[in-house]
Chains A and B, each alone.
Chain A
Amino acid sequence: MLSAAETFFGFIGRNAIRLFKGIHDASLLINNTFYWAFLSPLKGKPIRVKATIYEMVKVGYNSVPIVSVIALFVGIILALQSAYQLKRVGAMIYVANLVGVSLTRELAPILTAIIVAGRSGSSFAAEIGSMKSAEEIDALVTMGINPIRFLVVPKLIAMMVMLPALTMIADFIGILGGFLLSVTELQLNPYNYIQQTMNALVIKDIVTGLIKALAFGIVITIVGAYQGFKVEGGAEEVGRRTTASVVTSIFLVIVFDLFFTMLFYFFA
């Protein structure tokens, strides 16, 4: 029988090895993805344009309705919650500042990322995972077609373009939501509200939000692809990996958000 100490250290050791293997595999995937996305096109192996456009439609265009609705609601909620506090100090016009800044810097990117992680990150994992279990990935390899170039790169490019684009839409619609509530329920002057928003927002707010969105897009793609390629068994594991991809990408999106927010706070 193993002693308690042996069991304990064995547990730590096994998990450490698994963790390091995970990190190693993920960094290999990141390396390869960036190589096939940005370096190999310079060497005459272009990216697949049609597949990229197709992914853009799936990731971006098809997400517009849900992102818009959620952004609209969040804009309204933000305006209401700000008004609740600002009413006491009689500074209702600052609702415009709070809505505009918190949306562009923080809420629009992160909400969009979470929606897209749930919609597209999971579908990346499911698609690649079921291809893995049906030997389609092996088939690509034996045909001399790199699966990362073929499958992951179009998704990466689509995410890098569409997540910032969706974030911009969320910025706009969210602010619109706040505006609609303010000019009706809070009875603020529409012209003043717009003026206040314009004054409150600087380009930097919007740009930092978009930089975050770009990073989140990369995170979601890599996590989805990583979980997909990890599938070894059948349908059951595809499902498990799909769930894992959503949980992991939302977790990592928030970790990266914290990192970027600190970075912008201290250095910008």
Chain B
Amino acid sequence: MKIDIVDYKGHLIITPSGDIDMYSSPELRSELMRLITKKTKALYVDFRNVSYIDSSGIATFVEGLKKMKLYGGRLKLIGLPEGIMEIFRFSKLDNIFEIYGNIDDAVGS
């Protein structure tokens, strides 16, 4: 897995690519937590290049969302491929996370 952090019109977008699994989740978590400890108001995660996410990846986002809710921050997930969306649905988390089709929808909401 590779993680890029892009600045899009002043919004921070985390762009992981490849598999988010047991072995790459810790890296994703440390990136996420680094931004969260800075109390970033809104964080965007772009899933376009994610091929697979397992329960450790889901758990990482659950942790991130929990931490952000404490200070009123928002974690928005964008561009989920159908396979990934399905996994969120199975985990009953598709209504918990803010999920958007693309970055502009996410920024606008």
Q: Do chains A and B touch in the complex (CB under 8 A)?
A: no
B contact residues vs A (CB 8 Å cutoff): none
